[in-house]
Chain A
Amino acid sequence: MAFEIIESCTNCYACEPLCPSKAIYEAKPHFLIDAEKCTECAGDFEEPQCASICPIEGAILNEDGVELNPPGSLTGIPPEKLAA
């Protein structure tokens, strides 16, 4: 049970101080999640904190590789406009 940050991360630091398990760390080229430590916030918060503040759609995946914030879910921009 662990999330993953992928290359679309913009290194904005927003998630890092929120993580109750201190699983998120600064790295190059982008922040990473220590899979050993990540609990997906179970027992600490109702919602996973990193995915709740991350402004970049698709930057955080769950353990099945599914985007926690799919395209359009945060900005309201229709995906077909994003692709264009």
Chain B
Amino acid sequence: MELPVLNNTESEAAKGGCSSGSCGSTDDQMNHLPDSIRDKVKNHPCYSEEAHHYFARMHVAVAPACNIQCNYCNRKYDCSNESRPGVVSEVLNPKQAVKKVMAVAATIPQMTVLGIAGPGDALANPQRTFDTFRMLNEQAPDIKLCVSTNGLNLPANVEEMCQYNIDHVTITINCVDPDVGAKIYPWIFWNNKRIKGREGAAILIEQQQKGLEMLVAKGVLVKVNSVMIPGVNDKHLEEVSKIVKAKGAFLHNVMPLISEEEHGTFYGLTGQRGPTNEELQELQDSCAGDMNMMRHCRQCRADAVGLLGEDRGSEFTLDKIEEMEIDYPAAMKMRAEVHAAINEELESKHAAKETKLVSIEGLKKEVTRPVLMAVATKSGGVINEHFGHASEFLIYEASSNGVRFIGHRKTTPYCEGGDTCGDGESALDVTIRELSGCEVVLCSKVGYEPWGPLEAAGIRPNGEHAMEAIEDAVLAVYEEMRAAGKLVEKVDEQQKVA
């Protein structure tokens, strides 16, 4: 049906820079997957970089119990791996959860996927998790179901899980070596005992790997999440990536450790830092040689609702959904129409892109240096957010190999809109720091005030591509830079240094 040539030619062209698969256009993350898998993930916002601009997901917090302790988690709050720490989700019973899912699916027809990710561990609460899935199978069969787990109880539950048509599972695997594990997991609960230290970590690792193998054997899609903890498992994750790929995981998502002191976690209170943006990208790039890497993860909350990066959970609190009247059969019809329209739009975009790629291939002769660009977008894969309103920027890399998505960086909106900007100046400093390494920031509009400081920091603001498709705009700006001779000199300098 689709998909570019870029990746094929790229493997001959560029053996340097990026080891193999992951360069090229952003959606080639999916290129080397078989059609059967691509079909399964094409409208899953958490698995497909492209889909996340169009389709929405939700999590229901039905699973508060956990069976392990991670050093990045404070159990007084939510799990800080699957959901950001500091706020407690409203825990729902399965019936309430089903009602909420149907209310959201009827209100946000772009919602395709329901996940159970906590706030503890989905499989440490098998009864609550499976009751929810069973009811959804019956009442809302058009919703895809997925589960996120630490893997300890996975082997024991694979059989039952498969009964509910759960075809996507995420396992958080931070290590395959119990000595590394002992620095991440202080204890696990196993066979009616609390088991501490290395011994506990060894059991957890064994169960995770066994669970992964069982799921793959059953044809279930498995994504692996890893939390990157500098000095603890950062050097080790390349090996993890190799092993989980060899066992059949289809996607690896390396996420940065979140360890603010105020979250009260072991890492937060003992000064363990998270990785810098650059360190994270470097590790993702080095794992990419072995594995499809995922870079658009937002580490969302266990009760998140909406497009990735947004949370509309407050529209669907228990008392609000209690008042909603939902005609699900009607909603299901409307949802099918909305999904079909989105898929049609995506397919026509792919067709257009294929034509364009052919012309780019023709032009590609000189090798120019890669440039990072930051993009402000709300949704839809277009540049449609004001610089000052953006709470995150998507980072793209343009190079002579094409455009690829690198990740996202969070910030505080420089200006919340309105006349006064209060702390605007310091918020701008934060944004500039977060955009380090970027040479251009593309947004629908940028005010006069931030212009100077951005330029001084070497980041050129650009509002000329408002409402254009992100990759087209990034490529256009890159071409402008090439024409202006801005891409060549630095290569020379780098070569001189080397």
B is a partner of A: yes
Q: Is the CB of B69 within 8 A of A74?
A: yes
Q: Is the CB of A12 within 8 A of B66?
A: yes
Q: Does B127 contact A (CB under 8 A)?
A: yes
Q: Find A76's partner among B66, B192, B193, B266 (CB 8 Å cutoff).
A: B266
Question: Nearest Cβ in chain B — how far from A19, in angstroms?
Answer: 12
Residues of A close to B266: CB separation below 8 A:
75-77
Q: Does A81 contact B (CB under 8 A)?
A: yes
Q: Is the CB of A47 within 8 A of B64?
A: no
Residues of A close to B235: CB separation below 8 A:
none
Q: Is the CB of B270 within 8 A of A55?
A: no
Q: Does A27 contact B (CB under 8 A)?
A: no
Complex Cα gap A75–B192 (Å): 19
| Inter-chain CB contacts under 8 Å: number | 63
Q: Is the CB of B192 within 8 A of A47?
A: yes
Q: Does B65 contact A (CB under 8 A)?
A: yes
Contacting residues of chain A (36-84) with chain B, CB-CB under 8 angstroms: 45-47, 49, 52-53, 55-56, 74-77, 81-82, 84
Contacting residues of chain A (4-34) with chain B, CB-CB under 8 angstroms: 10-14, 17-18
Complex Cα gap A82–B310 (Å): 33
Question: Nearest Cβ in chain B — how far from A43, in angstroms?
Answer: 13
Count class of interface residues, chain A: 20 to 34
Contacting residues of chain B (169-205) with chain A, CB-CB under 8 angstroms: 186-187, 189, 192-194
Which residue on chain A has the smallest CB distance to residue B121?
Answer: A14
Contacting residues of chain B (247-269) with chain A, CB-CB under 8 angstroms: 264-266, 269
Residues of A close to B75: CB separation below 8 A:
10, 12, 55-56
Chain B residues touching A, majority SS: loop
Complex Cα gap A51–B127 (Å): 21
Residues of B close to A75: CB separation below 8 A:
69, 71, 186, 265-266
Instruction: Please judge, given known A-B contacts A13-B65, A13-B125, A76-B71, whether A52 and B194 are in contact too, CB under 8 Å.
Output: yes
Q: Does B277 contact A (CB under 8 A)?
A: no
Residues of A close to B189: CB separation below 8 A:
14, 52-53
Q: Is the CB of A76 within 8 A of B120?
A: no
Q: Does B91 contact A (CB under 8 A)?
A: yes
Complex Cα gap A40–B125 (Å): 23
Complex Cα gap A15–B76 (Å): 15
Q: Does B67 contact A (CB under 8 A)?
A: yes
Q: Is the CB of A14 within 8 A of B124?
A: yes
Q: Is the CB of A81 within 8 A of B69?
A: no
Which residue on chain B has the smallest CB distance to residue A8?
Answer: B76
Residues of B close to A14: CB separation below 8 A:
64-67, 120, 124, 189
Instruction: Please judge, given known A-B contacts A53-B189, A77-B269, A81-B270, whether A17 and B127 are in contact too, CB under 8 Å.
Output: yes
Q: Is the CB of A74 within 8 A of B76?
A: no
Which residue on chain A has the smallest CB distance to residue B197?
Answer: A76
Question: Nearest Cβ in chain A — how far from B61, in angstroms?
Answer: 11
Q: Find A12's partner among B64, B71, B194, B265 (CB 8 Å cutoff).
A: B64
Q: Is the CB of A81 within 8 A of B269?
A: yes
The 9 closest A-B pairs by CB, nearest first: A14-B65, A55-B75, A12-B64, A52-B194, A53-B189, A81-B269, A13-B65, A12-B65, A76-B186
Q: CB within 8 Å of B: which residues of A?
A: 10-14, 17-18, 45-47, 49, 52-53, 55-56, 74-77, 81-82, 84
